């Protein structure tokens, strides 16, 4: 095979799947709580063991016979994970022993024809009395583990990864990470599913259906991408302790780790205070972004509707006037085909590097056109400028005295750079550095 293997962790509720997932990944990604139904969607994370890279999928607990609507959604997500996976870890409760539900899950897995390893979890004190019963499932080796304490996890990974010839695997490092964020019920999960062309995440009218930040790798026009659907970010006062609080934290972390952020807004409600706060956080993190105005199909429109919305957004988002709006309907698919193209476009804008000579010419002309500020008879002078980094674009200006650079003049220079080099959809940062300060270093 030519790709990094995808390994799904499945099992009935409350056997420690998410704890095992977090232990293997090495950080708390999937939510762990003491009651059933916490992990609902598929949660992806990249991991490595003894130099061998792989992608892990955590799934919701499988209750095969339940007819409850949410459990059926969870089961559908787990079944899709099984179909996508190259190998499967079936987690069982080694302390309680085999159950009828274990047999039912094993029967489901047997039909997949995928390599399967059974992790007999919760074996904390070498209590192996029940371990051998799990061979009755007839689906693969049984490895005693304690996910909570890390016991047996290495043996488990050795067994699972032995199914793959790593000499034929090409690691993929250049992945574009796209985070989809917004308030609850703005349509984030619907947009994710529409982009991916599959029911990747559960879509429901119940606020809070998506709890984890859910990563899905895919390929678009030859580019390796990862889309991250996040939990809805509510007002701080409305966020409950425990699961929801952690979900919001995961969403904010997803923004920090993303290459591009899609901020999904319910166009039928307009831009709310919470939407503006989310945009502000994305701006503070210096992330290229697209403002996705969803549910455009329910808006009554005339010839000037888009112009009115653009003017409205410009007024409300004046702190990030570089924003790129996109008016779509995740429900009908209207303009969804433009979302990825626009995300890639703003990322490439953030990746642009300006030649030093051209940059200095543009800034020199700008300082002639509008005289630099002065304080107590001392006027700001620019000696030299260079672009220090990309993603985000950062420009370093060597001046006679950095304290002479007023905020308003920095804003003026930013507008000059945008007129000259665009930087569509991405924040830029300008740092004025005193020449004397540079010489001291």
Q: Same structural domain for residues 344 and 389? A: no
Distances from the Cα of 109 to the Cαs of 177, 359, 434, in angstroms?
31, 60, 65
pLDDT at residue 242 is higher than 70:
no
Q: Same structural domain for residues 201 and 184? A: yes
Question: What length is written for the chain?
Answer: 441
What does 310-344 look like in DSSP terms, one character per residue?
HHHHHHHTGGGTT--EEE-BTTTTBTTHHHHHHHH
**Nearest in space to 267 (alpha carbons), one of 231, 299, 291:** 299
Q: Same structural domain for residues 360 and 343? A: no
Q: Same structural domain for residues 369 and 310? A: no
Question: Does 265 map to a domain?
Answer: yes
Residue 146 sits in a domain whose CATH number is 3.40.50.300
Question: Does 1 map to a domain?
Answer: no
| Total number of domains in the chain | 3
Q: Where does a domain end: 331, 350, 369?
A: 350
pLDDT (mean) for 396-411: 93
pLDDT (mean) for 267-293: 93
pLDDT (mean) for 228-236: 64
Q: Same structural domain for residues 295 and 189? A: yes
CB 102 within 8 A of CB 24: no
Element (H, E) at 152: none
Q: Same structural domain for residues 37 and 80? A: yes
pLDDT (mean) for 278-299: 95
Q: Where does a domain end: 310, 326, 350?
A: 350
For tokens 């290229």, what's the residue?
288
pLDDT tens for 320-356 read 999 999 999 999 999 999 999 999 999 999 999 999 9
d(CA 73, CA 91): 20
Percent of the chain with pLDDT over 70: 81
Q: Where does a domain end: 150, 168, 186?
A: 168
Name the CA dihedral angle for 213, 75, 208, 329, rounded to a multiple of 10 degrees: 80
**Nearest in space to 430 (alpha carbons), one of 401, 398, 420:** 398
User: Residue 297 burial by CB count (10 A; 0-12/13-18/19+): exposed, middle or buried?
Assistant: middle
Residue 390 sits in a domain whose CATH number is 3.30.300.20
Residue 407 belongs to what domain range? 356-440
pLDDT tens for 290-302 read 999 999 999 999 9
pLDDT tens for 167-224 read 876 555 578 999 999 888 899 888 988 998 865 443 444 344 344 446 788 888 888 8
Q: Same structural domain for residues 24 and 158? A: yes
């Amino acid at each position: 095979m030519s790709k990094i293997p995808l390994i799904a962790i499945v099992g009935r509720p409350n056997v420690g799947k998410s704890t095992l997932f977090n232990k293997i990944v090495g950080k708390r990604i999937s939510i762990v709580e003491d009651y059933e139904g916490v992990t609902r969607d598929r949660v992806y994370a990249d991991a490595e063991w003894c130099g061998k890279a792989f992608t892990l999928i955590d799934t919701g607990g499988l209750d095969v016979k339940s007819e409850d609507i949410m459990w059926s959604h969870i089961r559908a997500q787990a079944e899709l994970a099984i179909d996508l996976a190259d190998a499967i870890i079936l987690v069982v409760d080694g302390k309680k022993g085999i159950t009828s539900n274990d047999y039912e899950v094993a029967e489901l897995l047997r039909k997949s024809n995928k390599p399967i390893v059974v992790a007999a979890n919760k074996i904390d004190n070498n209590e192996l009395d029940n371990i051998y019963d799990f061979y009755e499932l007839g689906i693969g080796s049984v490895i005693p583990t304690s996910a909570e304490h890390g016991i047996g996890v290495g043996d488990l990974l050795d067994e699972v990864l032995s199914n793959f010839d790593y000499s034929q695997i090409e690691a993929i490092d250049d992945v574009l990470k796209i985070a989809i964020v917004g308030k609850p019920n703005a349509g984030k999960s619907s947009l994710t599913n529409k982009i991916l062309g599959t029911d990747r995440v559960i879509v429901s009218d119940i606020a809070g259906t998506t709890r984890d930040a859910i990563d899905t790798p895919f390929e678009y026009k030859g580019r390796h991408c990862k889309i991250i659907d996040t939990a809805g970010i509510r007002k701080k006062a409305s966020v409950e302790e425990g699961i929801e609080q952690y979900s919001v934290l995961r969403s904010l972390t997803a923004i920090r780790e993303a290459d591009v952020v899609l901020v999904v807004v319910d166009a039928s409600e307009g831009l709310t205070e919470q939407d503006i706060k989310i945009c502000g956080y994305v701006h503070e993190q210096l992330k290229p972004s697209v403002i996705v105005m969803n549910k455009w199909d329910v808006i009554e429109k005339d010839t000037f509707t888009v112009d009115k919305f653009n003017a409205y957004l410009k007024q409300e988002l004046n702190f990030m006037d570089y924003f790129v709006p996109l008016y779509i309907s995740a429900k009908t698919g209207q303009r969804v085909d433009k979302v990825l193209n626009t995300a890639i476009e703003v990322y490439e804008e953030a990746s642009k590097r300006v030649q030093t000579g051209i940059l200095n010419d543009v800034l020199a002309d700008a300082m002639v056109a509008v005289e630099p500020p002065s304080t107590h008879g001392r006027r700001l002078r620019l000696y030299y400028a260079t672009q220090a980094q990309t993603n985000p674009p950062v420009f370093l200006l060597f001046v006679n005295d950095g304290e002479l650079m007023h905020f308003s003049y920095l804003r003026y220079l930013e507008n000059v750079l945008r007129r000259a080099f665009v930087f569509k959809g991405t924040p830029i940062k300008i740092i004025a550095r005193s020449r004397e300060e540079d010489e001291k270093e």
